[in-house]
Amino acid sequence: MSVSVEIKKSFGDFALDVSFEAENEVVGLLGASGCGKSMTLKCIAGIVRPDSGRIVVDGVTLFDSNKRINLSPQKRRTGLLFQNYALFPNMTVGQNIMSVLRLQTKKNLKERLSSLLGKFYIQGLEDRYPSQLSGGQQQRAALARIMASRPSALMLDEPLSALDSYLRWQLEGELLQILDEFEGTTFYVSHNRDEVYRLCKSVCIMNQGRNESLRAIEDLFESPKTLSSSILSGCKNYSNAKRLSQNTVLATDWRVSLTCASEAHGDFDCIGVRSHNVLLCDEKAAGGDNVFPCRVIRVIQDVFSTIVNLQPLNAENGDGDFSRIRAEFPKIPKQEGIFENEFENGSVVLVKIRPEDIMLLKK
């Protein structure tokens, strides 16, 4: 099964312009709030009509502005799960699921309902109303209702965001099993990059109504190509940059020259370095490649790590957004005494960034 989307939709100052194709896989739609992720799903589901373009799911044209095709949501066989699950509050769980089954056939309704209740672990809850269910039970009931319609494409819009962390982790495991068994294409919207990494096989980055090409989820985290995709992958350190030589760049916000592992061609505007790739070294490394002094601005103790905010000495008078550097280290027991003194506010430390850890990015 496959999904092909090429649509445009204007909303005043905001313009949605997306184009992508996906096969039988779980695709993460990752982007900041208001970038068009949820609107894209609503266009596919038929809740919102695009201004122009074409949507094809499993060989069936759902929307084509040139051919004036615009199937109703009921005829699209696309299942959209909202963040609040959108169960009918005046219907029981069984009635919610049956409302979809009635649109298809009345034959063997009891057997079909029983099968769905068992598959989603909500047996015995069929006579309860949504207000009588926990968040996890509501999610499973909503998924059961969607799957009852045998959708060709499944779309999940922030399905775990309203849950507390413990319940969220439990339901994520259950959701992973459901997605593994689903034979169609799934689109998964989330702000949580870790969640997307665990659940999705590929990812589509969205930024201000436009999308980047689909890419393997591992590729996004190992080698992002743009500033926006790097930010969404969790990178914290950036500097505007320009080419000095074949393998050397000038990080203009940090005011240091750095050697890169890859050739510094002209198609980049800045560099990125992940927090765990910012290394501290002793005075013996002074003067080496990619080693430069920084002042400790603040030390933050996280649950399992120590975060150190640094200011390159050469850029202490800088006022750019990227002038500071964040380093993160696994929390070390105090008795080991490693870097204990250097982590004092105002002290100067030597920072090293390996050439292979520098990402060349396009804004």
Q: Is residue 231 domain-resident?
A: no
Question: What pLDDT, on the 0 to 100 scale, is given for residue 320?
Answer: 62
Of 121, 127, 129, the C-alpha closest to 173 is 121
Q: What is the rounded (10 degree) CA torsion for 316, 319, 321, 325?
A: 10
The total of other beta-carbon atoms located within 10 Å of residue 29's CB is 26
Residue with tokens 């370095």: 273
Question: What pLDDT, on the 0 to 100 scale, is given for residue 283?
Answer: 77
Question: What pLDDT, on the 0 to 100 scale, is given for residue 25?
Answer: 92
Please write down the long-range contacts of 167-173, taking CB distance under 8 Å and 24 or more positions apart.
167/134, 167/135, 167/136, 170/136, 171/136, 171/139, 172/198, 172/199
Choosing from 199, 226, 253, the residue where a domain stops is: 226
Rounded distance, CA 131 to CA 89, Å? 7
Q: Is residue 139 domain-resident?
A: yes
The answer on 351 and 275 residing in a single domain is yes
Q: Is the pLDDT of residue 105 over 70?
A: no
Torsions phi, psi of 70, nearest 5? -155, 85
Rounded distance, CA 305 to CA 331, Å? 4
Domain residue limits at 277: 237-361
Of 228, 210, 190, 189, the C-alpha closest to 14 is 210
CATH code, domain carrying 317: 2.40.50.100
What percent of the chain is helix, strand and coil (3-state, nearest 5)?
Answer: 30, 35, 40
CA atoms 13, 27, 69, 98: torsion sign: negative
Alpha helix (H) residue ranges in 107-216: 109-119, 135-148, 165-181, 193-199
The answer on 241 and 222 residing in a single domain is no
The answer on 195 and 72 residing in a single domain is yes
The answer on 256 and 208 residing in a single domain is no
The answer on 253 and 214 residing in a single domain is no
CATH code, domain carrying 26: 3.40.50.300
The answer on 191 and 52 residing in a single domain is yes
Q: How many domains does the chain have?
A: 2
Q: Is residue 348 domain-resident?
A: yes
- What are the pLDDT digits (tens) for 173-214? 878 888 888 888 999 998 888 889 999 999 999 989 999 999
Question: Among 115-124, 223-232, 311-320, which is the least confidently predicted range?
Answer: 311-320
- What are the pLDDT digits (tens) for 264-277? 676 899 999 999 99
Question: Among 87-96, 309-318, 326-335, which is the least confidently predicted range?
Answer: 326-335
Rounded distance, CA 39 to CA 53, Å? 15
307, amino acid identity:
I
H or E segment to which residue 219 belongs: helix 217-222
Q: Is residue 232 domain-resident?
A: no
Q: Is the pLDDT of residue 252 over 90?
A: yes
Q: Is residue 346 domain-resident?
A: yes
The mean pLDDT value for 105-125 works out to 83
The total of other beta-carbon atoms located within 10 Å of residue 10's CB is 13
- What proportion of the chain, given as a percentage, has pLDDT over 70? 92
The answer on 274 and 148 residing in a single domain is no
CA atoms 218, 223, 229, 233: torsion sign: positive
Question: What pLDDT, on the 0 to 100 scale, is given for residue 337?
Answer: 47
The answer on 354 and 299 residing in a single domain is yes
Rounded distance, CA 86 to CA 95, Å? 14
The answer on 163 and 60 residing in a single domain is yes
The answer on 172 and 246 residing in a single domain is no
- CA 201 to chain CA centroid, Å, is 12
Choosing from 167, 199, 226, the residue where a domain stops is: 226
